[in-house]
Structure 1
């Protein structure tokens, strides 16, 4: 599921936060498939790390994945995330309100398509990661069959009409250009999420599944 956008900054987030959050209960198999794919690259005990989700939304991913901190521009979304015991700070990806080398782990799920400047957002993630820190991105792969389906229907959706969907190749290129290393990937959602009847097991690589997960590290010695 993609996070909303509009001509007014964060307007759809504010107006439709509850609707956005309810999607995950209504289409549980798709949601659990995404969680399972993200878990492929998570360390054993992320709750013991200083971990941040950029664009935490309503906390639907941070909470079950053990991510304790979130940054979110939408007040309505942030309030729901706080109810899931996430420590949320209002802010944007391109100017993270944190000191340099603060976090061991950073998560970005579906939000990259809504960054004003994806390269700057990923650059900020490098800045606030500790040396050897891990970045995990969950994204709709524009070049996948599901990605093309959503692109075709993009203007019909109040949630994704303002998104700029990226391909895995584009994001991988940005990561490499910013010095990230040890890139790994997996994928899930071979069909339309709203039609999925059971949880899909993640597969290695990308290209077939609409939901792609990329894991990369900031150069340096690992702290976990």
Structure 2
């Protein structure tokens, strides 16, 4: 059973997190915006694991993929077009998108590497992947407490480190890797929106941006 199935019963708890820790949420959005192109409205963009649409709907990404029906229904209320499906077998043709967004969802995929491979397939040459993760090396339980680890929506998560995701992206052939970080305090202790910093190792929330090569290696 996919770990995402628990979100059908935890959808209200999941969505309420963003209201309870609004400054942490706004800090995450700001770090993602650091990499977003200015002409996003002219590009073909997709969020994989769109959840309740908290990120795509605000950032200007009009299409989301989400396996949990209850989550997808709430995302649609936020005016996001949602396709039901899983990240490891994307229901899209190759080289269809200019940008693919994945926010915290990698930790819930059955096979994160396969999901990244599928992302590479559907991106146009030169297209961008923007992945926001909760860095396993920096969490140390601080972030998890706010998500009710025991039996909550983090209980099925398998968090990855920035080094692991960076390595997977590079091995698959992605290039021009850049990294920003935020959430330097536990979500409940953040008193103002945090300004993202380059690199990783300090913040719990890390954003990785990389590009599909314009030409396949070896051409």
Residue 171 of structure 1: CA displacement?
0.3
From 189, 195, 214, give the equivalent of 1:220: 214
Deviation (angstroms), 1:180: 0.1
Distance in 2 (CA, whole Å) between partners of 1:17 and 1:152 is: 17
Q: 1:91-149: per-residue Cα shift (whole Å, max 9, x none)?
A: 000000101111000000000001100100000000000000000000001111xx122
Match of 2:10 among 12, 16, 29: 16
Structure 2 matches for 1:4-153, cutoff 5 A?
9-144=3-138, 147-150=139-142
Q: Shift of the alpha carbon at 1:9?
A: 4.8
* Residues 127 and 212, structure 2, Cα contact 8 Å, conserved in 1: yes
TM-score (structure 1 length as normaliser): 0.91
Higher deviation after alignment, 117-126 or 7-16:
7-16
Moved more, 149-158 or 200-209: 149-158
Alpha-carbon distance in 2 for matches of 1:152, 1:89: 29
5 Å-filtered alignment, 1:189-200, equals: 189-200=183-194
For 1:165, the equivalent position in structure 2 comes to 159
Alpha carbons of structure 1 residues 68 and 12: separation in structure 2 relative to 1, 3 Å: same
Does the aligned pair in 2 maintain the 1:141–1:166 contact within 8 Å?
yes
Aligned to 2:201: 207
Residue in structure 2 matched with residue 3 of structure 1 by the alignment: none
Contact 2:2 2:110 in 1 (8 A): no
CA pair 117-151 structure 1, distance change in 2 beyond 3 A:
farther
* CA 1:209–1:151: 2 relative to 1, 3 Å: closer
Please report how far the alpha carbon of residue 152 of structure 1 lies from its aligned counterpart in structure 2 after TM superposition: 7.7
1: CA distance between counterparts of 2:99 and 2:151? 32
Q: 1:152 to 1:125 in 2, by over 3 A?
A: closer
Using structure 2 for the length normalisation, give the TM-score.
0.93
Instruction: Provide the rounded CA distance (Å) in 1 between the counterparts of 2:197 and 2:144.
Output: 25
Cα drift, residue 155 of structure 1: 4.7
Offset of 1:86 from its aligned partner? 1.1
Point out where structure 1 has 5 or more consecutive residues left out of the alignment: 1-6
Instruction: Determine the C-alpha separation between the residues in 2 that align with 1:175 and 1:124.
Output: 12
Specify the SS of the correspondent of 1:116.
Answer: coil
SS in 2 for 1:97: coil
Deviations 1:20-78 (A, max 9, x none): 11211121100000000000000002122110000000000001110011000000000
> Structure 2 regions of 5+ residues with no counterpart?
none
Q: Residues of 2 paired with 1:94 and 1:176: CA distance?
A: 18
**How far does residue 8 in structure 1 lie from its aligned partner after superposition?**
6.5
Q: State the distance in 2 between where 1:60 and 1:140 align.
A: 16
